[in-house]
Structure 1
């Protein structure tokens, strides 16, 4: 198959969406398929020759200067695609380039697939025109876009059921983004000690992700303040960057935990495995994830997880087995984290279960499932698509 991938974010920008595209593209290529990416242009790659990648002229946003918005020129996409012979279009956004991708699919009379990566209504604080549209309006917009496509992929069953409840009528199949467990198991367990001076005897609680409002990190700081009162040698390590970093730094100081909260900034992908392997527990307060790929990465490194019970974490974390899911407030989050820190046998059992869960979500297995969905769609086998959706 020749697959056209359209995304409003792509490398060198770093995000869960970009990682998902790269992971599936790599595995589909191993299966013999060709991937053609349509993405925004970034200054770091301007002028570079990138085989199978078409870059649209773009501009950066004032809210997030690292993120560039493509100018959605359909004529340019048609011109580039004219000599490719695409069999299918797969879009990863309902906005600029997602619209271009679906329109191109209709022009070429080929199927269009959409992956519902994001709870778009929960990220409206990043949209310049957010004040002119309600959250309810955004949900309706995304649902209408789903119904323009021939197949919708969601990262989890939870999100599949949610969007079907919002009125999505097209086939929906849950296919998580897979990971490479061996990469995270091979991380350097002395990474945080060597690079940030954290003693290997210290209990490390780790968060990896964007340092933004949607990650609910102020909740995590308050929970850690409770943990720190009882676990004197525990530290909280936040890996990532984002607009809330300065605010959270001052919040940590106000809570009296400033010296025990370490902000590493953004780490290169090849070193993040070391951060996971240097930690004791992965803590995840976000309530806006459709999957939370970092949850799977953490489990692949053998970390038990303590997470807020919402969307992605409900699907990825088995409560009491690979970690704990918290329905309540900071005191519950702190209590469950402390219960793992104080019980080595529980920690070991959860670690072993986490490793098994990550193996189930290996990248090659997830790519085979996506390939099967693609082939059913191209061959017009809609009964199989609905069956795959029901199987979960």
Structure 2
């Protein structure tokens, strides 16, 4: 797979060496998603290294643990709630004023986390202020299209508005064809490809995601930089039954493979009636089918939906489990896998692209995304983990792999990208 070096760009750094980094994101709460945690962790580490952070995001109840840091500031934009998914979306109100003010007092580096409307504003700032642009591709549009199809035309429309401001003479890209793709998705991917190609550097959290970016934007300058994740403070395990406990942590929505988990667990319970499946995380309240399906599973026995738990209390749930089971095929990295690995949990997954903390046959098993295959893999792994030596080896390997991808390590790599671009600008003499 081709990797491009950073493009020689037009970047300046401050005379003291301190960089002012503007982070633009369309997702900053109120739901505490993996993307929110990834952005907040990078904020925290960049501040810890002595640099400034400006966050630009939709107005929401989401707050940062570093909100009181004197080197951190925010620009929140008017937003509307997205029904069912506990997110707020900015649709352009106040963007032109924000653009004027940000261009008048520009950051040294613009870092866009995803390409929603606020992300497009960040790209607009980088263009108008002549600043370097780093884009992180957190979410796979195409993988999510089946579940968020109604939002695609609106997002494609936002891209087209951006292009009209960005370069009135530019021909808008034609849709990227593909079997089974809707016209809206094809148009969206084509426009995203043009924007990704404009970035000085596109970072992705995994090789899987880098491959996807290069498949739609082969001229993008891509670098894999996994999101950092540190161990949660240890807590005592919660009380539990006598049988094996399977754990899932994250958004309880169809796009996360929850239906697959429930179907597979039905089969696990036939062989292990004492097994339990615990789902920790907020639910998509707009998905009536999932709500009914989850309700039936809970009534059948063995399935427990805990709901959303404060992040600093999750360690108790990880400590109480025997196996972390993850049925999603849409994630680009899945920080919950790293949290589970930090806690020493073995893993069962269905996505072979999620291997940063999973070594097949040691601390992890991979199954095909079918209920019978997933159930059989879970049962086989539970049987293997009954051997204390196997369980100890799996736990140690999980912790070892998780320790590689810390928040500080990610920040050092990302700051290296920022500073390299700054040096390239200084070399141009502009």
Q: TM-score with structure 2 length normalisation? A: 0.79
Q: Secondary structure at the match of 2:228?
A: coil
Give CA deviations for 1:217-272 in whole Å, capped at 9, x if unaligned.
11111111111111122100001122267644643565697321000011111111
Contact 1:74 1:100 in 2 (8 A): yes
Residues 1:363 and 2:407 are matched in the alignment = yes
> Which residue in the other structure is 1:156 paired with?
206
Partner of residue 374, structure 1: 418
The answer to whether structure 1 residue 220 and structure 2 residue 261 are counterparts is: yes
Contact 1:42–1:58 under 8 Å retained in 2: yes
Q: Secondary structure at the match of 1:342?
A: helix
Name the SS of the counterpart of 1:5 in structure 2. Answer: strand
Deviation at 1:169, TM superposition (A): 1.2
> What secondary structure does 2:403 align onto?
helix
Instruction: Tell me the residue number matched to 1:260.
Output: 302
Change over 3 Å in CA distance of 1:68–1:231 after alignment to 2: same
Indicate the larger mover: 147-156 or 10-19: 10-19
Unaligned runs of 5+ in 1: 382-392
Deviates more, 1:321-330 or 1:112-121: 321-330
1:101 corresponding residue in structure 2: 122
Change (3 A) 1:305 1:151: same
Pick the structure with more helix per residue.
1
Aligned residue number for residue 22 of structure 1: 40
Distance 1:325 1:134 in 2: 33
Cα displacement string for residues 35-84 of structure 1 (whole angstroms, at most 9, x for unaligned residues): 10001112677xxx9750111111112343x2111143443323443565
**Which residue is 1:81 aligned to?**
102
From the superposition, tell whether residues 256 and 271 of structure 1 become closer, same or farther in structure 2 (CA, over 3 Å): closer
Query: Tell me, which stretches of 5 or more residues in structure 2 are unaligned?
Result: 1-18, 154-181, 426-430
In structure 1, distance between residues paired with 2:401 and 2:252: 26
TM-score normalised by L of structure 1: 0.86
CA RMSD of aligned residues (A): 2.4
1:300 alignment counterpart: 342
Greater shift, 106-115 or 124-133, is seen at 124-133
Provide the C-alpha distance between the structure 2 equivalents of 1:257 and 1:357, rounded to a whole number of angstroms: 37
Question: Does the CA contact (< 8 Å) of 2:280 and 2:306 recur in 1?
Answer: yes
CA distance in 1, matches of 2:134, 2:260: 36
Distance 2:395 2:357 in 1: 14
CA distance in 2, matches of 1:103, 1:254: 48
What is the deviation of 1:123? 2.2
What's the counterpart of residue 189 of structure 1? 237
